[in-house]
Amino acid sequence: MKKLIFTLLIASVIGMTEQLKAQCEIKDAVIGIVSTSQAGVDCQTTFNLSFKLKNNGGNKTVVIQAWKEADYPNYWGANCSNNQSPRAADLRLNGTGPLPFLNIAFDIATQTVIASANYPGGGVTLGSGYTVAVGTIDALGFYPITLSNLSVTVPNQQCGNGVTIRADVWSSQGSVNSGWTPHCVICNNTYAFNYPAVTASLNCLNPRGYFVRIQNINTVQTITSSWKAYRDDNNNGILDPTDPLVDDQSGTSHTITAGTSYQTTGFIPYTGNTTPPAINQNLIIEVTTDGLANKQYAIAANACAPLPVNFKSFNADRIREWVNLRWETMTEQNSSSFVIERTTGLTGWQTVAVIPSQATGGNSNDLLTYHFADLNNYKGISQYRIRQVDLDNQSRYSVVKAVRGESQPVKLTVFPNPSENGKVTVVFDNSNTVRELTLLDMSGRIIRRMTAVTNNSVQFDNLSTGIYSLRVVAVETGEQTISKVVVNRK
């Protein structure tokens, strides 16, 4: 499954390796963003965290606490030392600042989450609802720890922007019900989340190629970055020691001025990009930026891997308050069902219906046709996808289809318009037409051009503030449509 980034489809990594008192050492920490949503001025984020902790024979209760940089209270001081675990007031800058937005504790021995009631001194709410998994100690004395489905609210933070944080990691030899006297502390670690912002993708050609875009969201400072590409062999969205390096671009640095981006020219080939199973794997792009302690990761997801079901077509068309979904399969192997999912952009993907496979025993080499009508009177754009589930409960996603709102009886819809982030989506009412798209600025200069577009939705991103004209031409008929696009970046 795809891992989403702090900006949807991006991952941030904390690369921390410190050795302080009592042989305290932690390394290879990786954050994989699962989902984000804007809640007023705050960013709500769900993510997975994995890292390696040195086994010193005493770690029992482990605590992780993180603040935005300006809110860091620096309880542990320059030497990362204190004989008492921090109480509620100690976790607030000057005793009045906000508590850490990430504040969790877990028991290594039992691999369980520790409840707020056990925090020494009380008055502290610990995160819950996540799971803890501790692996086997490796040859260097580290045992891997994975925390899944952590949920936090980052205060006063836009989800699409980078954020600098400071984090403390400490552990105690004491039991869950003790005062948690610290014996191992790593403190005042500074990291940049989602800075620079990195996206990546794979094409569906043979040989495969990958694309990388690095955006310097810092408005005052130039950065220098490079990257390596690894194959995600176990498809977990995390760079594991066993994931092979398939392309090394670390010897080529790219200077990116403030507020601009670098992107590859076309798609770059890599080792194993011609034959299965390697050709069907995702890639993990590891970006290193001079002067930053941590690295940024992006998943180049392979949407081209063979599915248990071979889709011939998938269409979504609105008829008044109903959206008619129709898909055909040419072959099905080990197929169980089709889960129809919908999003309006206001919420995440929601399950609309589950349609059983028509294939006898899950297998078919005949053309099978499926229909479903969804009662949907939403006035804006809705998007649909199909999650095909096989008998082993493995799943893959279809392409995404967008439909206009019930109150949008036009053949072309641009949203959001105006755009506040430089990104717009264009939705066509008819999905069976080949089109050419040209985006022009007010002087008539061509900004973007797309040819042979067959999908019913496309996206333009990284547009500067201004007014544009979007010209759409149906290749077969020559019919032309022109729409105004407004970008007002904030």
In three-state form (DSSP H/G/I as H, E/B as E, the rest C), the secondary structure along 21-65 is: HHHEEEEEEEEEEEEEEEECCEEEEEEEEEEEEECCCCCCEEEEE
Flag whether pLDDT at 20 surpasses 50.
Answer: no
Round to whole Å and give the CA distance between 119 and 149: 21
Q: 63-77, 104-118, 300-314, 368-382: lowest mean pLDDT where?
A: 300-314
The predicted pLDDT at position 126 comes to: 94
Flag whether pLDDT at 197 surpasses 50.
Answer: yes
Round to whole Å and give the CA distance between 426 and 415: 7
Averaged confidence pLDDT in the chain: 82
The predicted pLDDT at position 66 comes to: 93
Flag whether pLDDT at 89 surpasses 50.
Answer: yes
Flag whether pLDDT at 37 surpasses 90.
Answer: no
Per-residue confidence band for 2, with pLDDT thresholds at 50, 70 and 90 = very low
In which residue are the tokens 């819809």 written? 413
The predicted pLDDT at position 294 comes to: 66
> How many other CB atoms are there within 10 angstroms of residue 133's CB atom?
11
What are 452's two structure tokens? Answer: 């042979």
pTM score above 0.75: no
Q: Which residues contact 136 (CB under 8 A, 6 or more apart)?
A: 143, 144
Q: 98-112, 460-474, 475-489: lowest mean pLDDT where?
A: 475-489
3-class secondary structure, 329: strand
Flag whether pLDDT at 208 surpasses 50.
Answer: yes
DSSP state of 236: S
Q: Which of 34-43, 111-120, 214-223 has the highest mean predicted lDDT (pLDDT)?
A: 111-120
Q: Give the C-alpha distances (Å, rounded to integers) separating 462 from 106, 349, 423.
A: 41, 25, 6
Q: Which residues contact 360 (CB under 8 A, 6 or more apart)?
A: none
Per-residue confidence band for 356, with pLDDT thresholds at 50, 70 and 90 = very high
Nearest to 231 by CA among 199, 264, 277: 277
3-class secondary structure, 315: strand
